Amino acid sequence: MDHIDVKNLSVGINDYVILRSVSFVVNKGQCVGLIGKNGAGKTTLLRAMQGLSPYSGFSNIAKLSYEERARLVAWVPQIHDIVWDVKVNKLLEFTALKFCRNAGHAEETISASLSSTNTVQLAEKNLSALSSGELALVNVARALCQNSDFILMDEPLANLDPRQKSTLILLMKALADQNKGIIFTSHDMPAVETACDRVIALKHGALLFDETHRIKFTDARNREIFD
């Protein structure tokens, strides 16, 4: 799949509207920042477009089976719940063996995922021993092990220290250069400026703007988005 296509996507609970007819197309090779103040509908949009929550409208990935969608789209949610306590390398091995063509390819994928997220030193640690920032990067490494065309991430920069944040920003840019499609939510406007070649902004559940040139978040633009 070379693009994600969302048309008139809406989400509501009873009479409360969360998303209002949002439409866009994201192609492979783009790094897209999805921004807006808390409650604008960013997380809901990422979930609905994958079919993970009820919606109306159209998304070309929402109706895929779990297996089909997982091969095309990797999902990194903001809340990283530890379902079972295993070592990092075992977690990555479980994912890589599912999506790689053979054991040798899986080993290469795990090594590359650890290296690109700067988490090699965490490979033998248990998940329960990780900080929130370390766990966030490990979940990105796990997403890389899917070898998917697109990676969707909800606030991946939120719990990172400055060095970890720099690592992830550079990684997202590198992945886009490798023809991966990246969509991530963030409140870190300098990071969005640095990482993204496109920005989609939501306000009150609707599309505020969709700009494909590098924008500068001036005081006036920030008021437009966050007031």
List the CATH code of the domain at 3-82+150-226: 3.40.50.300
Q: How far apart are CA 199 and CA 31, in angstroms?
A: 9
Per-residue tens of pLDDT for the chain, all 227 residues: 899 999 999 999 888 899 999 999 999 999 999 999 999 999 999 999 999 999 999 999 998 998 899 999 999 998 766 667 899 999 999 999 989 878 889 999 999 999 999 999 999 999 989 999 999 999 999 999 999 999 999 999 998 999 999 999 999 999 999 999 999 999 999 999 999 999 999 999 999 999 987 778 889 989 999 99
pLDDT, averaged across the chain: 93
CA distance 21 to 12: 11
CB 168 within 8 A of CB 188: no
Both tokens of 211, joined, read 């700009």
Residue 19 dihedral angles phi and psi, to the nearest 5°: -125, 140
CA distance 189 to 218: 10
pLDDT at 80: 65
How is the chain split into domains, by residue range? 3-82+150-226
Residues 6 or more apart whose CB falls under 8 angstroms from that of 87 comprise 123, 124, 125, 126, 127
Q: What is the pTM of this model?
A: 0.94
The token pair that represents 8 in the structure block: 């008139």
Give, as one character, the DSSP assignment of residue 64.
S
